[in-house]
Amino acid sequence: MMSLPLSTPESRLHAVRMRIARATIEAGRKAETVSLLAASKTFDAAAVRDLAACGQLEFGENYVQEALDKQTQLADLPLVWHFIGPIQGNKTRAIAGHFSWVHGVDRLKIAERLSAQRPPGLPPLQVCIEVNVSGETSKGGVALSALPELADAVAALPRLQLRGLMAIPAPVADRHAQRAACRQVRLAFDALNSRGHSLDTLSMGMSADLEAAILEGATIVRIGTALFGERIYPG
């Protein structure tokens, strides 16, 4: 069979799924233990629709208004929307009402607003706490030392379901360094479960380090560039 050029959505999706499959085999895991989340920020609704036509139905967005515009244009599709960007206090109502998942909770105040503003007709909002595993001041996320207290408080909120942890480790090329950062997140995840939590989600790994993340236990990988191409930001 002639292979499709990597410029097509179908071929890019196939290539990413093959990377995930190879990594799960290397990790001794089943392929279905890792979900692919397409990180579609800055790409238009047409690009999302093209990828959805190939079978990808879960999408992650970073910017609220951009996401809401896409959701309106794509309302005919059975898509699952994840909010994966930093959360501003004045955006929590829109996020609580229009997303199924939120990956970037790092402050109790934000979690409380999401819980209070989640519409009662919707199921609980699925949330991950973001961990600043590399200690970068330019990134959000709770410090590992403060994670247990925050996790206990978030888990007690009525309209949220705490599913696990999310991290964006500092970008490095070395596989061992990539794995070391992801391992810290997984150990924190294991420690929370030992404290009595029932977490099942590790959202970590992007286009450049998905293999390392899967080897360390990732259950969701957030892939943008490998699926859509290089981003071009306004300005």
Contact 59, 81 (CB under 8 A): yes
State yes or no: pLDDT of 165 exceeds 90.
yes
Which range of residues forms the domain containing residue 100?
Answer: 9-228
Residue 234 in any domain: the answer is no
Residue 114 in any domain: the answer is yes
Whole-angstrom distance, CA of residue 172 vs CA of residue 130? 19
Distances 63 to 67, 75, 112, 134, 196 between C-alpha atoms, Å: 6, 18, 20, 23, 34
Whole-angstrom distance, CA of residue 187 vs CA of residue 205? 16
Residue 190 in any domain: the answer is yes
The conformation of residue 226, written as its DSSP 8-state character, comes to H
The residue count for the chain = 235
What DSSP assignment string belongs to 185-203?
Answer: HHHHHHHHHHTT----EEE
Residue 219 in any domain: the answer is yes
Instruction: Read off the pLDDT of residues 98-149 as tens digits, 9 standing for 90 and up.
Output: 999 999 999 999 999 999 999 999 999 999 999 998 777 777 899 999 999 9
The conformation of residue 20, written as its DSSP 8-state character, comes to H
Q: Which residues share a beta bridge with 129? A: 105, 165
Question: Can you give the pTM of this predicted structure?
Answer: 0.94
Question: How many structural domains are present in the chain?
Answer: 1
Residue 125 in any domain: the answer is yes
Residue 233 in any domain: the answer is no
Average pLDDT of the residues in 167-173? 91
Give me the pLDDT at residue 234, please: 59
Residue 103 in any domain: the answer is yes
Instruction: Read off the pLDDT of residues 145-163 as tens digits, 9 standing for 90 and up.
Output: 999 999 999 999 999 999 9
- The enclosing domain of 208 has a CATH number of 3.20.20.10
* Amino acid in position 79: L
Give me the pLDDT at residue 4, please: 47
Residue 3 in any domain: the answer is no
Dihedral over Cα of 80, 84, 85, 87: its sign: positive
Token readout for 158 is 């009525």
